[in-house]
Amino acid sequence: MPRLFGTSGIRGVANREVDPLLAMKVGLGLARLVGSSGRVVVGRDTRTSGGMLESALLSGLLSGGCTAVRVGTVPTPVLAFATRRWRAKAGVMITASHNPPEYNGLKCWDGEGAAFTPEREQELEGEMGRGGGVEWRRVGRTEERDPVGEYLRWVLDRFPLRGGHRVAVDCGNGAASRVTPFLLREGGCTVLSLNGFPSGGFPGRGPEPSPASLSDLSALVVSGGAELGFAHDGDADRIAVVDDRGRFVQPDRLLALVASHLVGRGERVVTTVDASRVVEEWVERKGGKVVRTKVGDVSVARALREGGGKFGGEPSGAWIFPEAHLAPDGPLAAVMVLRMLEEEGRRLSELLEEVPSYPLLREKLPCSPAEGEEKMERLRRGYARLRGVTGAEEVDGLRISFEEGSWVLVRPSGTEPCLRLTCEAREEGEARRRMKEVLSLIV
Ligand code: MG
């Protein structure tokens, strides 16, 4: 049986095939896994295929005897919040995150509001292969419930804002449309909203925030006189930020800034192998310690759950605040950035001026999983021949270090059929040279 889930826990995003029969089997398998009398919360992002997949998933859950609690279009962190808050046995989010509109998939959550680990996914896959549903008398039913109001109060009770901010928000027509502008208004901010209506084709700027796709947000921050701008991906577990001068903020530097703001002496911050070393530099200045994991919010959440920590984040903009919950949370991240500005009493551009910017190149090399494996093997055999290699580690893919302090990471993507390459150096030319050298071994 093929693996049903990518490492990100999202099924189906790798091949664009949105298969309702599979969604039905996931529903039935999940009912078997959590017990037929359990409640399962089901939400989705704004994708056009979301309703179709939801219907199939519900069929499976109901035929397995579960009560399915439908929450409609919500951000992934709100689905995770509701699953834990309402003491459900599990949650399922129908989303393909930042991927193009034609993709879709399923991401499962446990009763603690944490994403399924690969081991739990494997258990679910095992259950999916086994038999049919419950007898007719015990077939499940659906309930409808809206968690958004509860979520807004929960965030602002725990992490209140002084308010008075003027901010621009680009929801990209995704699931954040129902939450972030309202959350910030409730928190006393004036919100300039962009692409704030839900639409499955993501007509505004696509589901993935990038410097190019956020040019309208940058312009709005400047013309609207906003303090900064926030953007999310399709399911709003990620955040991207534009500073008060309308400039896209390099995610690693923002991660370093927020991590160092939150961390105390002797406390831990968790980030992934592909993040800039500026995270260590900034966190260690405050006496904190950085732990690195495999790429993917599931690995970050697991490290936080097992070893504790003040904050966990990936350069993708998926940030976890364990004091709140173990789900990466874009709307909460927006609140936390504003709280940082309030506590520091300075503008974002001023705070960022002090954070060094190391050239960081990220590229992707499209290839099938088999080709990718073959390229990784070639790299493992050949990297030692490159000049100035000082070591390599395999926390995730292969991360090669060089004597001048540069490093190159090559790893198979968990969400797309490609290899991802990341290279950091002290200066741009060096980064390009190192990237080229490593590419020459595998292309
Ligand atoms: Mg996402």
How many angstroms does the Cα of residue 95 sit away from the middle of ligand 1? 8
How many angstroms does the Cα of residue 207 sit away from the middle of ligand 1? 9
Cβ atoms of 76 and 48 within 8 Å: the answer is: no
Span 108-128, mean pLDDT?
92
Active-site positions? Answer: 97
Return the minimum-mean-pLDDT range out of 101-105, 382-386, 400-404: 101-105
Q: Is the pLDDT of residue 174 over 70?
A: yes
**In terms of domains, do 188 and 288 share one?**
yes
Look at residue 197 in the predicted model and tell me its pLDDT: 97
Q: Give the end of a domain, one of 146, 172, 187.
A: 146
**In terms of domains, do 96 and 185 share one?**
no
- Tell me the β-bridge partners of 209: none
How many angstroms does the Cα of residue 261 sit away from the middle of ligand 1? 24
Q: Give the end of a domain, one of 122, 146, 170.
A: 146
How many angstroms does the Cα of residue 315 sit away from the middle of ligand 1? 12
Confidence of residue 15 (pLDDT cuts 50, 70, 90): very low
What is the radius of gyration, based on Cα positions, of the chain? Answer: 22
Cβ atoms of 420 and 348 within 8 Å: the answer is: no
Span 182-207, mean pLDDT?
97
Span 320-342, mean pLDDT?
98
Q: Is the pLDDT of residue 10 over 60?
A: no
- Asked whether residue 46 is domain-assigned, the answer is yes
**In terms of domains, do 250 and 340 share one?**
yes
- Asked whether residue 1 is domain-assigned, the answer is no
Q: Is the pLDDT of residue 151 over 70?
A: yes
Confidence of residue 11 (pLDDT cuts 50, 70, 90): low
Supply the CATH number for residue 229's domain. 3.40.120.10
Span 100-114, mean pLDDT?
92
Q: Is the pLDDT of residue 4 over 80?
A: no
- Asked whether residue 7 is domain-assigned, the answer is no
**In terms of domains, do 17 and 31 share one?**
yes
Instruction: Map 290-346 to HEC letters.
Output: EEEECCCHHHHHHHHHHHCCCEEECCCCEEECCCCCCCCCHHHHHHHHHHHHHHHCC
Q: Is the pLDDT of residue 48 over 90?
A: yes
**Distance, CA of 49 to CA of 47 (rounded, Å):** 6
How many angstroms does the Cα of residue 97 sit away from the middle of ligand 1? 4
Lookup: tokens for 257: 């800034």
Look at residue 416 in the predicted model and tell me its pLDDT: 77
**In terms of domains, do 221 and 104 share one?**
no
How many angstroms does the Cα of residue 102 sit away from the middle of ligand 1? 15
In the chain, the percentage of residues whose pLDDT exceeds 90 is: 88
Q: How high is the mean pLDDT of the chain?
A: 93
pLDDT tens-digit series, residues 346-379 = 999 999 999 999 999 999 999 999 999 999 999 9
How many angstroms does the Cα of residue 81 sit away from the middle of ligand 1? 15
Give the count of domains, the chain. Answer: 3
pLDDT tens-digit series, residues 219-263 = 999 999 999 999 999 999 999 999 999 999 999 999 999 999 999
How many angstroms does the Cα of residue 328 sit away from the middle of ligand 1? 8
Look at residue 385 in the predicted model and tell me its pLDDT: 94
Q: How many CB atoms lie within 10 A of CB 390?
A: 12
In the chain, the percentage of residues whose pLDDT exceeds 70 is: 96
Q: Is the pLDDT of residue 320 over 90?
A: yes
Instruction: Map the chain to HEC letters.
Output: CCCCCCCCCCCCCCCCCCCHHHHHHHHHHHHHHHCCCCEEEEEECCCCCHHHHHHHHHHHHHHCCCEEEEEEECCHHHHHHHHHHCCCCEEEEECCCCCCCCCCCEEEEECCCCECCHHHHHHHHHHHCCCCCCCHHHCCCEEECCCHHHHHHHHHHHCCCCCCCEEEEECCCCHHHHCHHHHHHHCCCEEEEECCCCCCCCCCCCCCCCCCCCHHHHHHHHHCCCCEEEECCCCCCECEEECCCCCECCHHHHHHHHHHHHCCCCCEEEEECCCCCHHHHHHHHCCCEEEEECCCHHHHHHHHHHHCCCEEECCCCEEECCCCCCCCCHHHHHHHHHHHHHHHCCCHHHHHHCCCCCCEEEEEEECCHHHHHHHHHHHHHHHHHCCCEEEEECCCCEEEEECCCCEEEEEECCCCCEEEEEEECCCHHHHHHHHHHHHHHHC
**Rounded (10°) angle between helices 76-85 and 330-344:** 100
Span 41-48, mean pLDDT?
97
Confidence of residue 1 (pLDDT cuts 50, 70, 90): very low
How many angstroms does the Cα of residue 411 sit away from the middle of ligand 1? 19
Q: Give the end of a domain, one of 326, 352, 378.
A: 352
Q: Is the pLDDT of residue 17 over 80?
A: no
Q: Is the pLDDT of residue 139 over 60?
A: yes
How many angstroms does the Cα of residue 329 sit away from the middle of ligand 1? 9
**In terms of domains, do 345 and 364 share one?**
no
* Domain enclosing residue 192, as ranges: 150-352
pLDDT tens-digit series, residues 63-81 = 999 999 999 999 999 999 9
How many angstroms does the Cα of residue 111 sit away from the middle of ligand 1? 20
- Asked whether residue 2 is domain-assigned, the answer is no
Supply the CATH number for residue 412's domain. 3.30.310.50
**In terms of domains, do 330 and 219 share one?**
yes
- Asked whether residue 202 is domain-assigned, the answer is yes
How many angstroms does the Cα of residue 233 sit away from the middle of ligand 1? 6
For CA atoms 45, 47, 51, 57, the dihedral sign is negative
Cβ atoms of 140 and 67 within 8 Å: the answer is: yes
**In terms of domains, do 132 and 253 share one?**
no
pLDDT tens-digit series, residues 416-427 = 789 999 999 999
Phi-psi region of 198 (alpha: psi -120 to 50; beta: other; left: phi over 0): beta
